[in-house]
């Protein structure tokens, strides 16, 4: 993170409100102490996030006195884009991928820090820590800069940018152990509570607001659930769990038989879907 | 990047959380295309029961779609071959990182490709590895690739090497074959100076000797691959060496606090320790070691901290704070192994950016001593290095930096080279030693300087650099400009490409390497003449942007005008004043600019002369006007 602050003109921290973002924010506070992190937080708000996430975001930014930029694709909102009406692929493209590109262009960011990890998905395993993007935000997996030792090359020309992933070598377990060790606040949705959910296409979807249309025969029921990963509520499946504290989550993870992105609807679209989304500029 | 925690238990892995750093092995797997690397890693994950149910389900789908192991069988290689392009070609084309853990240890695997054209990817993976697993196919034995990979492993100082003799199932678990391969490899490893070599017979396909002992090979009593990886000793050489911390960022929240943020690269430091700030060399003491979790007494290798010094010294990013009693060398010339990764070859004399620690300086290869054939270790005479080639060269930086031999201190002895035009990382290097001559030649300060000489002559010295294709009219226009300047009483000198090649550069030809040297020498002479107070007119094709940038960098920003004499190739060829285009088209001149050799037009020239359409006299007056408007002539 210090490399980013030192090498770039106008960096930004992508703050998605999830556990990885919480760790990133914590690391930023530590890296620059006693200064404040010398960059803003950017949240790309698809307008379909869990209500708890938004409340948590605003509280944290306020407590820490950091500048928070909330980016919404207004054009998408005008067109009424949403996961129920347009499907997960269109929704993700318009409200997340396009929206992020708009923000980077509008504010002229030359580096965006993100919390992605190599253990999440196969195409992420080859992502560099400093990942170069062309002026139209494309990722070219065949033409990446070699990354040797801990020497990071952040030089870019006008219009080009770099996505930086300091947590590349962390695993999901590392994240939780670090959250435990450092006592880092995270969104309450990660902890098990009774929540109203419906079972749909094999995933447990939480009824977070009245925009969720129920299919015939679907009746929300209260179940003890938590989330391993957070995104847009209609696209994020919960897992049944009684883990109410960080140590209980760690214990549950050690016994887990499914990977964390399993609940994510977008990864399952087609075999290489994440790689294609990334080439187009998805984070 | 920021290290996440302060940490007193281990060093060398600052990009990981503390609990992971303490018992983590990073290793690289390398082998030829069909040796079964990806299958082996897939097997390790599978047998360690590290695959989740959804991953297994998607593996079954993928095996049906892309699998090469036959119907109903899981193709374990598909777990690791991540990118769509590789799945189609059936080979790994980049470095992929995998994470797994057993009860005893955690692992990060760098999976790198075997092809010769991906040597650079392997170097990348090896740069952070503590151990290397080299695969050979038992049916084929040691191949040129095995030798190449071993050489790279030794070059990057990877301490532990496993020779995994794979596909033992295909040769009926034959002990004699294994021993023959092993003996040959040990002899070879000795030549390379690889200290810790372990040989294991296994089959990734069947799993024998991968995670547990193989009943089929009862004759083998060594560890399985996983047992070996779980127990091999991990040393942190960085911890025992002298204190070094490259400064990443100056931390200045308010007037009363000024600290220097960085990650301790080696050794440790205590409050009160005497330290030197390099390359400057001023000494002071450590006043405070600051972290968000409170101030510390001691900081160790791997810790990300902010140091406050007792004296108010001028310290900036790129400086190194080091133990005052045991300092690294400060110099501007050194000998190094360079591995080339750029699409364009490395050309001696071409200016690159060099990044070592957090320092970033201009650098060039002053002498390419030889290339190394990585397969045979032979030294080969070379004028340039192509992608994936390794060479030994002298480098010179444009300002002194603190450094150490790679063998002594990896963090202070490793560097990358960056292309100034594309910003791509084009090479990496490992320093052998600093060159003494650097420290013994000091620049003499002269009392009568450029300003004094210029004042005496009543003009502002500068370089007018005319670049363009052969036959564009560079010399013609330069000649007219010089006549006009002479008429006005300016003191001038003309350096013409053809004339220079009859004298100063008589020894140079027209290859890219020689063109770079040609421009370098002319640029240096032009610089001397600017120092002498002259207006220097250079007319030189100077086809490459990098060298023109270098020529510009030798003088002050306002002392250099890049003048692009821009005529289309067709017009130059029709003019053909020296008959060179005719000869080229007849196949007599191979490297002719614009035909057999590229011309990179200037991106931001100070002046463009449309010499295809306008008369030389008119163009001359454009140049004179430009000089007047910049105050170079009255």
- Contact by Cβ (8 Å): A95, A71: no
CA distances from B199 to B33, B160, B182, B185, B304 (A): 20, 11, 7, 9, 38
Confidence of residue A121 (pLDDT cuts 50, 70, 90): low
Do the chains contact at A151 and B414, CB–CB below 8 Å? Answer: yes
Which residue in the list B203, B414, B475, B542 is annotated as catalytic? B542
In a domain, A194, yes or no: yes
- What band does A157 get if pLDDT is binned at 50, 70 and 90? confident
Instruction: Identify which of A11, A117, A6, A31 has the alpha carbon closest to the alpha carbon of residue B2.
Output: A31
The DSSP annotation for B316-370 comes to -TT-EEEETTSPPEEEEEEEEEEEE--SSPB-TT--EEEEETTEEEEEEEEEEEE
Q: Which residues pair with B458 in a beta bridge?
A: none
The overall average pLDDT reported for chain B is 85
d(Cα B575, Cα B473) in Å, to the nearest integer?
Answer: 10
Within this chain, do residues A165 and A198 fall inside the same structural domain, yes or no? no
Residues across chain A = 283
- Three-state DSSP at B194 gives coil
Q: Which of A148, A174, A182 sits opposite B124 (nearest CB)?
A: A148
Distance from CA of B195 to the nearest CA of A (A): 22
Pairing of strands B425-434, B329-340: antiparallel
Q: Which of B2, B54, B259 sits opposite A258 (nearest CB)?
A: B54
pLDDT at B85: 45
Q: Which CATH number characterizes residue A31's domain?
A: 3.40.50.620
pLDDT of A270: 42
Q: Does A156 lie in the same domain as A52? A: yes
Confidence of residue B49 (pLDDT cuts 50, 70, 90): low
Instruction: State percent of chain B over pLDDT 90.
Output: 45
User: Residue A144: what pLDDT?
Assistant: 78
pLDDT for B444 beyond 70:
no
Average pLDDT over residues B142-151: 87
Residues A221 and A85 occupy one common structural domain: no
Tokens, residue A95: 């409200």
Contact A125 B97 (CB under 8 A): yes
Contacts of A4 in chain B (CB under 8 A): 1
Chain B's closest residue to A28, CA to CA, is: B2
Concatenated DSSP letters for A93-129? IIIIIIHHHHHHHHHT-SEEE----TTS-GGGGG--S
Q: Do B261 and A2 touch (CB under 8 A)?
A: yes
Q: Within 13 Å and on the Cβ side, how many CA atoms surround A214? A: 15
Q: Please tell me if the domain spanning B24-231 has the same topology as the one spanning B329-436.
A: no
Average pLDDT estimate for B298-307: 92
Pick the CATH number of B450-629 from 3.30.420.40, 3.40.630.10, 3.40.50.300, 3.30.450.20: 3.40.50.300
Cβ–Cβ below 8 Å for A181 and B19: yes
B252: helix, strand or coil:
coil
Element (H, E) at B98: strand B96-101
Partner residue opposite B97 with nearest CB, options A30, A118, A150: A118
- What are the tens digits of pLDDT across the range B354-392? 999 999 999 999 999 999 988 788 899 998 999 889 999
Residue B469 contacts residue B593 (beta carbons within 8 Å): yes
In the 3-class helix/strand/coil scheme, how is B465-509 assigned residue by residue?
Answer: EEECCCCCCHHHHHHHHHHHHHHCCCCEEEEEHHHHHCCCCCCCC
Domain match, A124 and A228 both: no
**B4 vs A30: CB contact, 8 Å cut-off?**
yes
Is the Cβ pair B18, A181 closer than 8 Å? yes
**Which architecture, in CATH terms, is B329-436?**
Beta Barrel (2.40)
Report the percentage of chain B scoring pLDDT > 70: 84
Buried b (16+ CB within 10 A) or exposed e, A94-126: bbbbbbbbbbbeeeebbbbbbbbbbbbbbbbbb
Interface test with A, best of B82, B238, B302 (most A CBs within 10 A): B82
Question: What's the gap in Å between the CA of B401 and the closest CA on chain A?
Answer: 16
- Comparing alpha-carbon positions, the chain B residue that sits nearest to A26 is B4
Contact B249 A5 (CB under 8 A): yes
Closest CB to B84 among A2, A129, A272:
A272
Lowest mean pLDDT among A12-16, A110-114, B377-381, B476-480: B377-381
Q: What is the distance between the alpha carbons of residues B83 and A271, in angstroms, rounded to a whole number?
A: 10
Can you give the C-alpha Rg of chain A in angstroms?
A: 19
Q: Which domain holds residue A83?
A: 2-172+272-279
Cα separation, B527 vs B478, whole angstroms? 18
Contacts of B85 in chain A (CB under 8 A): 141-142
Q: Within this chain, do residues A125 and A205 fall inside the same structural domain, yes or no?
A: no
Q: Give the residue from chain B lying closest to A170, CA to CA.
A: B16
What are the backbone dihedrals phi and psi of residue A200, each rounded to the nearest 5 degrees, phi first?
-140, 130
By C-alpha distance, the chain A residue nearest B82 is A122
Asked if pLDDT for residue A162 goes beyond 80, the answer is yes
Residues A27 and A160 in one domain: yes
User: Which of A116, A146, A202 to substitute to test the interface with B, most B CBs within 10 Å?
Assistant: A146
Contact between A126 and B95 using a beta-carbon 8 Å cutoff? yes
For B501-522, b where at least 16 C-beta lie within 10 A, e where not — what string? beeebeebebebbbbbbbbbbb
Known active-site residue B542: yes
For residues B493-519, average pLDDT: 88
- CA B433, distance to chain mean position in Å, is 17
B563-599 pLDDT per residue, tens: 999 999 999 999 888 888 988 888 888 888 888 888 9
Q: Please give the CATH number for the structural domain made up of B242-323.
A: 2.40.30.10
Q: Are A138 and A225 found together in one domain?
A: no
- Which of B65, B96, B410 lies nearest to residue A126, judging by beta carbons? B96
In chain B, the residue whose alpha carbon lies closest to the alpha carbon of A172 is B99
* In a shared domain, residues A96 and A222: no
Q: What are the structural domain ranges in chain B?
A: 24-231, 242-323, 329-436, 450-629
A113 and A67 in a single domain? The answer is yes
Query: Would you say residue A269 has pLDDT above 60?
Result: no
- Segment A221-231 shows an average pLDDT of 89
ipTM over 0.90: no
**Residue A268 predicted with pLDDT over 60:** no
Mean pLDDT, residues B415-434 taken together: 92
For residues B83 and B208, what is the distance between their CA atoms, to the nearest angstrom? 28
Interface touch B99/A169, C-beta < 8 Å: yes
Statement to judge: residues A45 and A151 lie in one domain: yes
- Lowest mean pLDDT across A85-89, B233-237, B604-608: B233-237
pLDDT at B625: 92
Residue A177 resides in a domain: no
Q: Which residue of A has its CA nearest to B60?
A: A271
The top-level CATH class assigned to B24-231 is: alpha beta
Q: How much is the pLDDT for B10?
A: 35
Are the beta carbons of B65 and A3 separated by less than 8 Å? no
Of residues A32, A153, A169, nearest to B16 (C-beta): A169
Answer yes or no: do B52 and A262 touch at CB < 8 A: yes
Among A169, A176, A228, the residue to mutate for chain B (most B Cβ within 10 A): A169
- Chain A residues in contact with B545 by the CB 8 A cut-off are none
- Number of domains into which chain A is organized: 2
Mean pLDDT of B126-132: 91
Phi, psi values for residue A207, rounded to 5°: -85, 95
Is the Cβ pair B61, A151 closer than 8 Å?
no
Q: Which of B17, B290, B414 sits opposite A34 (nearest CB)?
A: B290
Shortest Cα distance, chain B CAs vs residue A186, angstroms: 17
Same structural domain for residues A112 and A216? no
Does residue A91 sit in the same domain as residue A221?
no
């Amino acid at each position: 993170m210090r490399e980013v602050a030192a090498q770039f003109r106008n960096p930004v921290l992508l703050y998605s409100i999830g556990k990885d973002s919480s760790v990133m924010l914590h690391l930023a506070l530590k890296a620059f102490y006693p200064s404040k992190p010398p960059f803003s937080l950017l949240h790309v708000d698809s307008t379909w996030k869990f209500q708890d996430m938004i409340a948590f975001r605003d509280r944290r930014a306020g407590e820490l006195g950091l500048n928070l930029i909330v980016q919404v694709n207004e054009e998408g909102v005008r067109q009424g884009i949403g996961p129920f009406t347009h499907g997960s692929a269109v929704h993700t493209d318009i409200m997340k991928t396009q929206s992020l590109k708009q923000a980077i262009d509008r504010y002229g960011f030359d580096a965006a820090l993100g919390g992605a990890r190599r253990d999440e998905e196969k195409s992420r395993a080859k992502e560099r820590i400093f990942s170069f993007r062309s002026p139209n935000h494309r990722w070219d997996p065949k033409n990446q800069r070699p990354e040797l030792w801990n020497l990071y090359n952040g030089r870019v020309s006008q219009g080009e940018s770099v996505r930086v992933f300091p947590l590349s070598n962390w695993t999901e377990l590392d994240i939780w152990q670090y959250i435990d060790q450092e006592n880092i606040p995270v969104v309450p949705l990660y902890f098990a509570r009774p929540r109203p959910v419906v079972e749909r296409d094999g995933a447990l979807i939480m009824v977070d607001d009245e925009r969720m249309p129920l299919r015939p025969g679907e009746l929300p029921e209260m179940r003890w659930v938590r989330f391993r990963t957070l995104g847009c509520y209609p696209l994020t499946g919960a897992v049944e769990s009684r883990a109410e504290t960080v140590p209980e989550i760690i214990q549950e993870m050690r016994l887990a038989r499914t990977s964390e992105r399993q609940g994510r609807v977008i990864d399952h679209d087609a075999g290489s879907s994440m790689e294609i989304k990334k080439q187009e500029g998805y984070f | 990047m920021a290290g996440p925690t302060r940490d007193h238990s281990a060093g060398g892995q600052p990009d990981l959380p503390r609990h992971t750093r303490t018992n983590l092995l990073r290793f690289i797997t390398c082998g030829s295309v069909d040796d079964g690397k990806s299958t082996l890693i897939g097997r390790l994950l599978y047998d360690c029961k590290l695959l989740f149910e959804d991953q297994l389900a998607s593996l079954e789908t993928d095996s049906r779609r892309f699998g090469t192991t036959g119907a109903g069988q899981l193709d374990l290689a598909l777990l690791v071959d991540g990118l769509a392009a590789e799945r189609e070609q059936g080979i790994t084309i980049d470095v992929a990182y995998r994470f797994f853990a057993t009860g005893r240890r955690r692992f990060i695997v760098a999976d790198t490709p075997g092809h010769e054209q991906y040597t650079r990817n392997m170097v990348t993976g090896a740069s952070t590895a503590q151990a290397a697993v080299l695969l050979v196919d038992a049916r084929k034995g040691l191949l040129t690739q095995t030798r190449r990979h071993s050489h790279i492993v030794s070059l990057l100082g990877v301490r532990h090497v496993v020779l995994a003799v794979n596909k033992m199932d295909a040769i009926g678990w034959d002990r004699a074959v294994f021993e023959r391969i092993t003996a040959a490899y040990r002899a070879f490893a000795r030549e390379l100076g690889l200290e810790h070599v372990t040989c294991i017979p296994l089959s990734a396909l069947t799993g024998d000797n991968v995670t547990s002992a193989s009943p089929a090979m009862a004759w083998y009593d060594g560890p399985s691959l996983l047992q070996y990886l779980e127990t091999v000793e991990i040393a942190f050489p960085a911890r025992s060496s002298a204190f070094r911390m490259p400064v990443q960022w100056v931390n200045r929240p308010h007037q009363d606090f000024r600290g220097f943020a960085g990650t301790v690269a080696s050794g440790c430091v205590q409050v009160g320790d005497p330290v030197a700030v390099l390359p400057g060399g001023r000494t002071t003491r450590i006043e405070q070691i600051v972290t968000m979790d409170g101030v510390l007494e001691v900081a160790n290798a791997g810790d990300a901290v902010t140091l406050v010094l007792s004296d108010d010294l001028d310290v900036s990013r790129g400086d190194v704070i080091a133990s005052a009693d045991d300092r690294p060398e400060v110099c501007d010339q050194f000998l190094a192994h360079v591995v080339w990764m750029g699409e364009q070859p490395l050309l001696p004399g071409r200016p690159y950016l060099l990044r070592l620690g957090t320092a970033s300086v201009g650098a060039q290869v002053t002498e390419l001593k030889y290339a190394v054939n990585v397969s045979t270790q032979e030294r080969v005479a070379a004028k340039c290095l192509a992608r994936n080639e390794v060479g030994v060269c002298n480098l010179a930086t444009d300002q002194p930096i603190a450094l150490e031999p790679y063998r002594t201190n990896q963090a202070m002895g490793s560097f990358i080279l960056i292309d100034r035009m594309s910003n791509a990382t084009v090479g990496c290097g490992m320093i052998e030693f600093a060159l003494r001559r650097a420290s013994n030649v000091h620049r003499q300060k002269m009392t009568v300087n450029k300003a004094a000489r210029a004042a005496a002559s009543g003009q502002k010295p500068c370089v007018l650099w005319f670049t363009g294709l052969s036959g564009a009219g560079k010399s013609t226009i330069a000649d007219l400009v010089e006549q006009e300047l002479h008429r006005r009483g300016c003191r001038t000198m003309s350096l013409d490409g053809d004339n220079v090649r009859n004298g100063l550069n008589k020894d140079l030809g027209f290859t890219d390497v020689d063109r770079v040297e040609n421009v370098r020498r002319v640029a240096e002479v032009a610089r001397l003449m600017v120092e002498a107070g002259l207006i220097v007119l250079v007319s030189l094709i100077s086809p490459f942007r990098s060298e023109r940038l270098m020529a510009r960098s030798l003088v002050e920003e306002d002392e250099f005008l890049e003048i692009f004499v821009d005529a289309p190739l067709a017009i130059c060829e029709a003019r053909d004043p020296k008959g060179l285009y005719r000869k080229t088209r007849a196949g007599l001149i191979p490297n002719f600019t614009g035909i057999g050799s590229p011309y990179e037009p200037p991106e931001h020239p100070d002046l463009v002369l449309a010499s295809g359409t306008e008369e030389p006299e008119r163009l001359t007056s454009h140049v004179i006007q430009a000089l007047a408007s910049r105050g170079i002539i009255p």
